[in-house]
Amino acid sequence: MTTRRTRIAGTGHYVPDRVVTNDELEAVMDTSDEWIRERTGIRERRFTDSETTCTDLGVAAARRALDEAGWSEKDVQFIIFATLSPDMYFPGNGVLLQSKLGLPGIGALDVRNQCTGFLYGLSAADAYIRTGMYDRILLVGSERHSVGLRMDDRGRDTAVLFGDGAGAVCVEVTDGVDGSFIIRHHLHADGRYADELCIRSPGAGTRPWLTREMVDDGSSHPYMNGREVFRNAVKRFPEVILEALESEGYTPENVDAVIPHQANQRITDAVAKRLGLPPEKVISNIEYYGNTTAASIPIALSEVVKAGTVKRGSLVCLAAFGSGFTWASSLLRY
């Protein structure tokens, strides 16, 4: 093998069966289907049953990705798991997934970059493989948001946005001669905005780290300064996509598909407009799943691969913006 490169060998996704419509939310909080659709583009999202954990969602997505790649569990040499809704405060979901797949002994890394977690994870997988440390890595993005949302009037600004689901990819070494390989990543962060989108408690930054008051005042639920997030997202998404394309001498016209993290249809529309791309090239499924954070890009990627919209050799740009703030892109030939 001349040059060690990396490619996505298979994709998979899994969402729970239970569909939660906007009308259902309207029954428990002061909101409306019209407000949610107009401001976000979301019509429905999926919520887990009481038993299914974030790791379970990840396992289901991982098995589908393994099937598509033609791998067995034993082919996996390393696991990367991205989520903001882990089953436990610690240990992370990586080891839980490893155990459920029956792979004791292999390494498992947890990524806590929220909406950009999948792309930070993909960049790590790519680097491990290119440097020869591993040949085959399983990368999972999964979220079980439904248990952490505040389902009343005080939580309405965030509760209507999020849904549960998981996506996974099998990443493997290649020489790239068939035209299928990951090209490069751009990773950014600005921690000055950490307080604008966060769950504050429990956290070891306070003593004690969790009190009844913290639960009552809502700090154990997501806090989001929606306008600040929106303002930064519509700037950073196009910026990081153009950074990826220009670094390789491409223009937006060269791209077969942009797959943005699914935060808000208005953000996705603004990105398409700024890049001058037709809507069909900027992939969107937020209508059906809401924002599934670390899972949204791998779910959308898995869907477009299965639909045939993205084929082997397609030029694809994955991009995300979210909590931190962090933003990132990965450019690849699928």
Task: Reply yes or no on whether 170 is catalytic.
Answer: no
Q: Cβ(158)–Cβ(1) under 8 Å?
A: no
Residue type present at position 204? A
Q: How far apart are CA 73 and CA 66, in angstroms?
A: 7
Could you tell me which residues are beta bridge partners of residue 134?
none
Residue 181 Cβ, how far from ligand ACO at the closest point, in Å? 28
Nearer to ligand ACO, 65 or 149 (CB): 149
Can you read off the two tokens belonging to residue 114?
């929220």
Of 115, 170, 198, 317, which one is the catalytic site residue? 115
- State how far the alpha carbon of 206 is from the alpha carbons of 89, 202, 220, in Å: 15, 8, 13
Work out whether 40 is an interface residue with ligand ACO (CB under 6 A).
Answer: yes
Q: Cβ(141)–Cβ(168) under 8 Å?
A: yes
- State how far the alpha carbon of 91 is from the alpha carbons of 108, 109, 221, 269, in Å: 11, 11, 21, 38
Work out whether 35 is an interface residue with ligand ACO (CB under 6 A).
Answer: yes
Residue 3 Cβ, how far from ligand ACO at the closest point, in Å? 35
Nearer to ligand ACO, 92 or 222 (CB): 222
Task: Reply yes or no on whether 221 is catalytic.
Answer: no
Residue 331 Cβ, how far from ligand ACO at the closest point, in Å? 22
Size of the site for ligand ACO (CB under 6 A): 22
- Of 75, 137, 76, 79, the closest CA to residue 108 belongs to 79
Work out whether 229 is an interface residue with ligand ACO (CB under 6 A).
Answer: yes
Supply the DSSP symbol for 162: B
Supply the DSSP symbol for 282: B
Site string for ligand ACO, 297-326 (x = CB under 6 A): -------------------------xx---
Residue 229 Cβ, how far from ligand ACO at the closest point, in Å? 4
Q: How far apart are CA 284 and CA 327, in angstroms?
A: 18
- State how far the alpha carbon of 181 is from the alpha carbons of 186, 245, 306, in Å: 16, 15, 18
Q: Cβ(290)–Cβ(161) under 8 Å?
A: yes
- List the one residue from 55, 146, 180, 264 that touches ligand ACO (CB under 6 A): 264
Work out whether 233 is an interface residue with ligand ACO (CB under 6 A).
Answer: yes
* Stretch of residues binding ligand ACO (CB under 6 A), selected from 91-99, 185-193, 212-220, 224-232: 224-232
Supply the DSSP symbol for 291: B
Work out whether 245 is an interface residue with ligand ACO (CB under 6 A).
Answer: no
CA angle, residues 181, 184, 188, in degrees to nearest 5: 145
Measured at CB, which residue is nearest to ligand ACO? Answer: 226
* Stretch of residues binding ligand ACO (CB under 6 A), selected from 34-42, 60-68, 75-83, 210-218: 34-42
- List the one residue from 129, 138, 140, 160 that touches ligand ACO (CB under 6 A): 160
Binders of ligand ACO among 70-129, rule CB under 6 A? Answer: 114-115
- List the one residue from 156, 185, 186, 221 that touches ligand ACO (CB under 6 A): 156
Q: Cβ(330)–Cβ(312) under 8 Å?
A: no
- List the one residue from 291, 302, 326, 329 that touches ligand ACO (CB under 6 A): 291
Nearer to ligand ACO, 52 or 85 (CB): 85
Helix (H, G, I), strand (E, B) or coil at 92: coil
How many helical (H) and strand (E) elements, i.e. helices and strands, does the chain have?
A: 11, 13
Task: Reply yes or no on whether 291 is catalytic.
Answer: yes
Catalytic residues: 115, 261, 291
Which residues bind to ligand ACO, rule: CB under 6 A?
A: 31, 35, 39-40, 114-115, 156-157, 160, 197, 226-227, 229-230, 233, 263-264, 267, 291, 293, 322-323
